[in-house]
Amino acid sequence: MKILADAHIPYLKGVIELFGEVEYLPGNEFSKEKIKDKDVLIVRTVTHFGKEILEGSSVKLICSATIGYDHIDTAYCDAHNIAWRTAPGCNANSVEQYVTASLLYIAQKQGCKLKDKTIGIVGVGNVGSRVEAACRKLGMKVLLNDPPREEREGKQKFVSLDTIKNEADIITLHVPLTKTGKYPTYHLVDFEFFRSLRKQPVIINSCRGAVVDNQAWGKAIYEHLISASVIDCWENEPNIDLDLLRKVDIATPHIAGYSADGKWTATKMTLENVNDYFKLGIDPIPFQKIPDPDQPIIDLQHVPPEEQLPTAVWHTYNPMKETEALKSNPEDFYRFRSNYPLRREYVAYTVVNADPTIAETLKMLGFNVNSFRNRKTL
């Protein structure tokens, strides 16, 4: 079996070789010529896989180590007996970590408390549900919008998009990118959306770039229709809108889901998908270990209680580092994304000397928390 794998997918090399003959290439170098004799493609979202690249190839299975699949022409694959698999939910905790870190930064910048704010979550699948849980733990009022789920489950827990536009102080997007069907999301947020907002909310996009019309976003900022902007997913990546980049508060190179934990889970699911599809019978698969963080202990002894929550979260991830780098060197978008130093999620960290009023929130978010105590007793 011949396998072509994206060279930037971690925890794959040294394991996938058990399955067949493997070649590695950067995702943006996949081509019709390179894939023509391959049985399996292991990919990310940087290349589109449709007729233009798949026609005449030997490809039997495409495994994407991502939650989304808008980079795969699923209709073409289904019509030509090419199976495709993704890794749903693999990075849900990581995106929640990104959103929480961003919310804490915006709250600090605006001088407000998150517990006094209402957040509207558009799209409540694996990722949106994790963001919902975190926001409730932070004491926020949460509004949920998900028309497909509402259709299946009823209206009890969901609100309309108009309600979110009228009541939310913050709107965060977690939908797949779709252009057809009953609920298309392409340019779901356009200038009319921005113009209908009542409260000048914060807008966060960490799902897919084209869910928001980026030109309209820039105009909305210019016309003061929103109070802050957080963008991880852009239209036309890696050639992003430089004017919009200059205007936003947090700007990152599509790395919200890039935790070591999430990437490990995606690779695990990918290896299982290949093993299952071809009935290889490799059991157990020798998955690699996730490295421990460099500084796994977060000591809050000398941190004022009101600063302990952001201090702990930003210890695990601070979006301003990527923001500064991307704004300084936007031409390096693809390099930043491909060589991103994978962060660890909360579960890899232990917090000590947290104030009792903060410790429970940290524990609920997923940190390991030791009881409040003086450093001398450690």
Show which residues are catalytic: 208, 237, 254
Cβ-contact 137, 365 below 8 angstroms: yes
Please, which residues have CB within 8 angstroms of residue 265's CB and are 6 or more apart in sequence? 87, 90, 91
Nearest to residue 48, comparing CAs of 28, 67, 71? 71
| The three-state (H, E, C) secondary structure of 311-338, written as one string | HHHHHHCCHHHHHHHHHHCHHHHHHHHH
DSSP string, 149-168: HHHHH-STT---HHHHHHH-
- Residue 283 neighbours by CB distance under 10 Å: 6
* Pairwise CA distance, residues 103 & 375, whole Å: 30
CA dist list (Å): 220 to 202, 225, 339: 11, 5, 32
Please, which residues have CB within 8 angstroms of residue 294's CB and are 6 or more apart in sequence? none
CA dist list (Å): 186 to 70, 165, 189, 246, 370: 11, 18, 8, 24, 45
CA torsion angle for 15, 6, 240, 119 (degrees, to 10)? Answer: -30
* Pairwise CA distance, residues 193 & 186, whole Å: 13
